[in-house]
Amino acid sequence: MKKMTYFLMLTGIILFLQSCGASKPGSFVQYTATDPGTWTAIQIRDDLSYDKAFGEVLDIVARQFEMDMISKDGGYGRTNWTYTWNLKGEYVKKYRARFIFKFSADKTRIEIKSEAEWGGEPDWKKGWDTRLLSTMKQDIMGAVGRTVL
């Protein structure tokens, strides 16, 4: 009877930890010494002014995230960490992601990247989120990107 009780308690604890986001998301890629993450560039359409392109990009990002830093003069934006960037959209303490964009000095392209951390305090593992990067790249390219034939 005791073995069965311990087994049920252990099973319950495992199921609880899994539901709390204890497992690493499949879209998380941890930085390594040889791959510290990179920026992805998007060419801006010729018919868009910088003001229009910046506004479009900011609108796309701000619809999905709370902004942490915005500098139109510097062509830069960064979101706050979000703890709900997972497939279920539920709050998870052990995984967070954010999005960063910056315009090139000549304002002809925008560079984007995602950052993510998994594990929780005090042992965050740093990396990026492939799903976040892919989603935002597609949305931004559709709004301001140059069409390639």
In a domain, 20, yes or no: no
- Say whether pLDDT at 3 is over 60: no
Average pLDDT along the chain: 85
Percent of the chain with pLDDT over 70: 83
Neighbours of 112 (CB within 10 A): 21
Q: What is the CATH number of the domain that holds 100?
A: 3.30.530.50
In a domain, 57, yes or no: yes
- Residue 22 corresponds to which amino acid? A
Please give the average per-residue pLDDT across 80-105, as a whole number. 90
Contact yes or no for 148/72 (Cβ under 8 A): no
In a domain, 124, yes or no: yes
- CA dist 110 and 90 (Å) reads 30
Total number of domains in the chain: 1
Contact yes or no for 95/30 (Cβ under 8 A): no
Question: Which residues form the domain of 102?
Answer: 37-144
Contact yes or no for 36/42 (Cβ under 8 A): no
Predicted TM-score (pTM) of this structure? 0.80
In a domain, 23, yes or no: no
In a domain, 134, yes or no: yes
